[in-house]
Chains A and B, each alone.
Chain A
């Protein structure tokens, strides 16, 4: 997003500043630092121990958007990582090989601990094995059971709470030298819930026609603070208030979704999107949608850190550890295929979308496995057509603009054709 003519809102500028401050904190050497992952992260708990939260996937994304990930990936491949390995991992390994410089230009310190919350991605475990080998620091794994039957059980919840009590919290106490204070946690969770309410309000505004926001490309920005190092902070509350005010104003003015090219002039297609975006050509990718008049009204990627709107989850100060457990269990990739299908089908119906578009990621099995079946099921349940495109997370070699554009154009024209035919006998 370095092009000079990007249109940015106040909330985007605020978020940029928040991210910068967090990187400054991480690289300051003044705070203890934990590396951890986005899905189901335990930010509020880390805050209880004044530990800074460093997220390797976000670093990979930052590097991709700055066009740096390609070299990092080839570096990692040179050091022995295969072509098919998750490109977030390879970008991270490559970044370490290149001096481990943070986006603010300062070197990352070695982490003081690795907190692995295992939520539906097996690669996370392998990734942190590599980092543990590199940094030789305390590593704690929170094992989150896969919700194979659709709904998490009480046993699963108890199992996570026990791990928090017996493994995670004692490690954090040891690393930070700070004693755990459950009331401090309650206070952070209370703040989380306030921001989360505004966040869910935001997600639901794209039910409007036209939608004032894009919930995939734009959604990435809107989800940023809640999924990263800011959930539980006053800054997050402030951010979502500002975002809400901006969206309310857009609604009042009847504006279509905001994009880097400016407000979308007309909303021609409404889509639900499954899968992460491509980061190396993020703006070009978004621009294709903009040019074709397509807005994403709901996406599963905006549920990747945690799911709030499907079963009304909010962090609960009255049940602090249990609510952390529920948050981890509810992560999108920790849900079984029928639940993901149901979520998508409900989105298509409730957001009155023209159909489901899947962006299948070459190097991400936790998202990609089963996606074709999901597409067929959602088509059956909604009667709306699906489409499938293939790109990658942060490997620029796997984004073929011509191919993606070709499929998108075909899909939108297919929707047009269906609209025109409207069940009549005319083919074109």
Chain B
């Protein structure tokens, strides 16, 4: 079948959206951008295809027979299969590095230690992907990396190896693994294996394994032809695409927001390194925009630094800030000074939640200035980008919009991170139609 794909290469993550001939979104894919945009684009595209196959499988199963249950189980088991096969590749890559000049003297003990580490992670894997298990990140690098670090330290100690040597082997290998993109065949095998696992686990579905497998095989046999791919985002110039396949992220975000919420007139997008205020007309065409110049103050990366400084996860910032009783006044949103600003307030005895609330407010004040320069807030208002997932940021934004522009409809999609890619996919569709 013909498909149309938009890829948004962000500074933090790379997103892909795949749509069909009827402009229906079939799948979305996301990966960390690494330092290699080509790979990030290919991985996110493959991920969007995987998601599309899930959608098609779901359509094939229909709504009856507790298909939802099966799909949820399949998704989880597929991720487990995917994780296991990447882990296997990581293990093999690590072993190959042991012949390297640097490690060969320690090859024996290193091999033994790695064996033990990988055995443990493999055994833990089903638990990582168990129903209801929480994962701080869905990226292989993050999950495998944190387990590896934990285990390598104790295993290293037992076998008298330094942690640094083990870490070095891992660091070299993970780069190779991250540059690999799963083939369609590998994905098909993972899906089929995942289905077998799911069918063993799930209870109360009305399909037989053979029926489900047949339906999945049919979906897997379907070719997802890349009829047109549009790239956008800061990394877009690095895409191996001809010029006409590349669109500015401002246009893509404007159009994407319009597609999610057709009454959108003002869009705020806060990404990793830029903040954009965009005005669109009734067709999603950009009529005006403003963005931060030169410096990334108050963008997503700022929150990243704050999280690092506090030694907590990025996704924990919002919930902590929501516990604040007041917002500490913070004027600077300079990313470079974020740490200093934070320590200064801590030293003054301010409470962590209040400081975080103040930081979120500072970011939004800056965003409001960019919005006002782009022409203000017109009903309806749509907030997109990674920061739209942060509840504290959203809370401050709502308040500031109300204070400055009165009651306005504020749209935030659960899929807001895909807005740019969605606009890109729509451009891809229009290029052919």
A interface residue numbers (CB < 8 A to B): 372, 376, 379, 385-388, 390, 398, 400, 402-403, 406-407, 409-410, 413-414, 417-418, 421, 425-428
Provide the residues of chain B in CB contact with A409, threshold 8 Å.
Answer: 248
B181 interfacial contact with A, CB 8 Å: no
Query: Cβ of B289 and Cβ of A390 under 8 Å apart?
Result: no
**From A398, A425, A426, residue with most partner B Cβ within 10 Å:** A426
11 contacts between A and B (CB under 8 A): A390-B293, A400-B294, A406-B248, A410-B248, A414-B251, A414-B285, A414-B289, A417-B286, A426-B430, A428-B429, A428-B430
> B126 within 8 Å of A by Cβ?
no
The reply on B202 being an interface residue by CB < 8 A is no
CB of B286 within 8 A of CB of A410, answer yes
In the complex the two chains form, is B234's CB within 8 Å of A417's CB? no
CA gap between A425 and B283 in the complex, in Å = 6
Q: Which residue of chain A has the shortest Cβ distance to B291 in the bound complex?
A: A407
Q: Is the CB of A428 within 8 A of B427?
A: yes
The 0/1 profile, CB within 8 Å of A marked 1, for residues 234-253 of chain B is: 10000000000001111100
A398 touches B248 (CB 8 A): no
Which of B248, B255, B285, B288 contacts A386, CB < 8 Å?
Answer: B288
The residue of chain A having its C-beta at the shortest distance from the C-beta of B423 within the complex is A428
* Contact-residue bracket for chain B: 20 to 34
A427 close to B234 (CB less than 8 A): no
Residues in B whose Cβ lies below 8 Å from that of A402:
234
- Is there contact, CB below 8 Å, between A390 and B294? yes
Q: Which residue of chain B is the closest to A423 with respect to CB atoms?
A: B283
Is A427 touching B284 in the complex (CB atoms < 8 A)?
A: yes
B285 and A418 contacting across the interface, CB-CB below 8 Å: yes
Chain B residues with CB below 8 A from A387, complex form: 289
Q: Which residues of A contact B284 (CB under 8 A)?
A: 427-428
Does A427 lie within 8 Å of B258, measured CB to CB? Answer: yes
Residues of A within 8 A of B250 (CB): 406, 410, 414
With A390-B293, A402-B234, A428-B427 as known contacts, state yes or no: A413 contacts B251, CB within 8 Å.
yes
B279-316 vs A, Cβ < 8 Å mask (1 yes, 0 no)? 00001111111110110000000000000000000000
Contact of B286 among A372, A388, A414 (CB under 8 A): A414
- Interface check B426, CB cutoff 8 A: yes
Task: Confirm or deny: B375 has a beta carbon within 8 angstroms of a beta carbon on chain A.
Answer: yes
Q: How far is the CB of A415 from chain B (nearest CB, A)?
A: 10
**Could you tell me the dominant secondary structure of chain A's interface residues?**
helix
With a CB–CB cut-off of 8 A, which chain A residues contact B255?
427-428
A91 to B373, CA, bound (A): 31
Q: A388 with B294: in contact, given A372-B373, A418-B285, A428-B255 (CB under 8 Å)?
A: no
A410 CA / B423 CA spacing, docked (Å): 14
Contact, CB under 8 Å: A376 / B285: no
**Pair B426/A413 contact, Cβ less than 8 Å:** no
Task: With A379-B288, A414-B251, A427-B430 given, name 11 new contacts (CB 8 A).
Answer: A402-B234, A407-B289, A407-B291, A410-B289, A413-B247, A414-B248, A414-B287, A417-B285, A417-B286, A427-B426, A428-B426
A280 to chain B, nearest CB (A): 14
Bound-state Cα–Cα, A248 to B55, Å: 64
Binary interface profile of B, 404-433, with partner A (CB < 8 Å = 1, else 0)? 000000000000000000000011011000
List residues of chain B with CB under 8 Å of any chain A CB: 234, 247-251, 255, 258, 283-291, 293-294, 373, 375, 426-427, 429-430
Q: How far is the CB of A218 from chain B (nearest CB, A)?
A: 25
Residues of A within 8 A of B285 (CB): 414, 417-418, 421, 427
Contact A376 B375 (CB under 8 A): yes
Residues of B within 8 A of A417 (CB): 251, 285-286
Whether A385 contacts B288 by the Cβ 8 Å rule is yes
CA separation between A413 and B429, bound complex, in Å? 17
Contacts of B247 in A (CB 8 A): 413
Residue contact A398 to B286, C-beta cutoff 8 Å? no
**Chain A residues with CB under 8 A of B290:** 388
Distance between A63 CB and nearest chain B CB, rounded to angstroms: 22
A409 to B250, CA, bound (A): 9
Q: Which residues of A contact B283 (CB under 8 A)?
A: 421, 425-427
Residues of A within 8 A of B293 (CB): 390, 400, 403
Contact B251 A398 (CB under 8 A): no
In the assembled complex, which residues on chain B have CB atoms less than 8 Å from the CB atom of A403?
A: 291, 293-294
A398 & B287 in contact (Cβ 8 Å cutoff)? no
Closest to B248 in A: A410
A398-B294, A402-B234, A403-B294 known; A413 vs B258 contact (CB < 8 Å): no
> In the complex, which of the residues B258, B283, B284 has the most CB atoms of chain A within 10 Å of its own CB atom?
B283
Give the chain B neighbours of A414 by CB distance below 8 A. 248, 250-251, 285-287, 289
CA distance A379 to B290 in the complex (A): 15
Across the interface, name the chain A residue whose C-beta is closest to B282: A425
Q: How far is the CA of A140 from the CA of B251 in the complex (A)?
A: 53
In the assembled complex, the CB of B290 is this many whole angstroms from the nearest CB of chain A, namely: 6
Q: A202 vs B293: C-alpha distance in the bound complex, in angstroms?
A: 35
Residues of A within 8 A of B375 (CB): 376
How many Å from the CB of A252 to the closest CB on chain B? Answer: 32
| Closest residue of B by beta carbon distance from A372 | B373
Nearest Cβ distance between residue B19 and chain A, in whole angstroms?
12
For residue B429, which residues in chain A have a CB less than 8 angstroms away from its CB?
A: 428
Q: How far is the CA of A409 from the CA of B248 in the complex (A)?
A: 6
CA distance A425 to B281 in the complex (A): 11
A331–B248 CA distance with the chains assembled, in angstroms: 37
A386 to B374, CA, bound (A): 11
Chain B positions within 8 Å of A388 at CB level: 290, 373
Closest to A405 in B: B237
A273 vs B294: C-alpha distance when bound (angstroms) = 21
Rounded to whole angstroms, the CA-CA distance of A400 and B296 in the bound complex is 12
Smallest CB separation, B5 vs chain A (Å): 15
Chain B residues positioned under 8 Å from A406 (CB to CB): 234, 248-250, 291
Q: In whole angstroms, how far apart are the Cα atoms of A414 and B286 in the complex?
A: 6
Smallest beta-carbon distance B159→chain A, Å: 48
Please give, as numbers and ranges, the residues of chain A lying within 8 Å of B291 by CB-CB distance.
403, 406-407
- In the bound complex, CA of A421 to CA of B251 (Å): 14
- For the complex, give the distance between the alpha carbons of A372 and B374 in Å: 9
